[in-house]
Amino acid sequence: MKKSSRTLALIMAILMVAGCTVLTCSASDETYKLSVYGDSIAACYGLEDPLTGYPTLITQDKPYTLNNEAISGDETSDMLRLLQTSDATRKNIAESELLVISIGGNDLLGPLQRATTAELFDLMMNKENSALIKNALASASTNLATITKEIRSLNADCTIIFQTIYNPIYANETYKNYATLIDSFAPIFNSMFYTLAESDDKIFVADVFTAFDNYYKETGKFDIIQADGIHPSQAGHSLIADVILELMAELEAAGVLPVVPAEKPRYLVGDSDGSEKITISDATAIQKSLAGLITFSSEKQQLAADSDRSGNINVKDATEIQKFLAGLLTETAVNTYVEY
């Protein structure tokens, strides 16, 4: 659909406004689900491979499985409707430990598309104090508060992380003169998330706006934005992931978010040479050890050499391995892993 050049700049500028929300909910076991909802940013719009977007990046090496239900074009009212009417969505939220929600940008796009000349003039003159911004903010704030309330009704123990909006227009050669205008809008919309954080001790804010702004200033580059001048590029998604992961690390340290349990050390019974497989070399290593020709330098090797699990290393351990390799044993601990 074609738009007049008078409004196109502002519409493109506001497309980036996407307050992403991360919600973490309680679980009864050690398996956790991360569900994503919202608009085009969480949906990884424009990426060659959506699985390289930040929703996937923040789950790597974390105890989560990913369920991404973000829909490009959604507004806060769409998000709220989804929560209130979709049984599948309600079930996923109730079962999820972590919810990532990117929403808010299209709440400004709609009013801008319908804006009159007088409204646009008011916007240019009064910026964040214009009626257009105030009305959009009021509507989005109300919807976000209701969304949060709805989530609480489905899962009362959720930790919520709101991602602040970023300004992509510095990267857009055609419309970068509007970048300072967006800078005046962004803090106002970001205030929605900080206001919610002040009212709930389990709500936190990941400041993506500052991360993007610092990147522009420190590098002089805008490669974190796609060629459309709106959506984050692969590098942009990586930066968003870094911001969220940094906050997640703080919350993990505070015990708010689940932490990947440290993998317990283990050894392979009979693997006295440390090759992670059972061969005749293991029997030979035990024999050399008993003859004083070699020494098992690590606790892991010493434990593995006790093939018959007797508590001592002796010739029977070498024999146990030889019998295992010859297929003469019906019951043996050889070639099984044991934690220690």
**Any idea which fold 5-253 has?**
Rossmann fold (3.40.50)
Residues 70-101 pLDDT 10s: 999 999 999 999 999 999 999 999 988 888 88
Residues 109-146 pLDDT 10s: 778 778 899 988 898 888 888 998 899 999 999 999 99
DSSP states of 283-316: HHHHHHHHTTS----SHHHHHHH-TT-SSS-SHH
- Whether the model clears a pTM of 0.75, i.e. scores above it, the answer is no
Q: Is the pLDDT of residue 14 over 80?
A: no
Q: What sections of the chain are H helices per DSSP?
A: 5-15, 54-57, 76-85, 87-95, 105-114, 117-126, 131-154, 179-199, 208-219, 234-253, 280-290, 299-305, 315-325
Q: Which residues partner with 102 through β-bridges?
A: 20, 38
Region 28-33 average pLDDT: 66
Distance set, CA 269 to CA 20, 277, 308, 332 (Å) = 49, 9, 8, 9
What is the rounded average pLDDT for all residues in the chain?
85
Q: What percentage of the chain carries pLDDT values higher than 70? A: 88
Q: What is the DSSP letter of 163?
A: E
Please tell me the predicted confidence (pLDDT) of residue 33: 86
Going by their DSSP bridges, the two strands 98-103 and 32-38 should be labelled as: parallel
Please tell me the predicted confidence (pLDDT) of residue 274: 84
Please tell me the predicted confidence (pLDDT) of residue 275: 85
CATH number assigned to the domain with residue range 266-339, chosen from the 4 options 1.10.1330.10, 3.30.930.10, 3.30.420.40, 3.40.50.300: 1.10.1330.10
Q: Which of 252, 240, 251, 234 is nearest to 36 (CA)?
A: 240
List the chain domain ranges: 5-253, 266-339
Region 272-299 average pLDDT: 90
Region 181-207 average pLDDT: 87
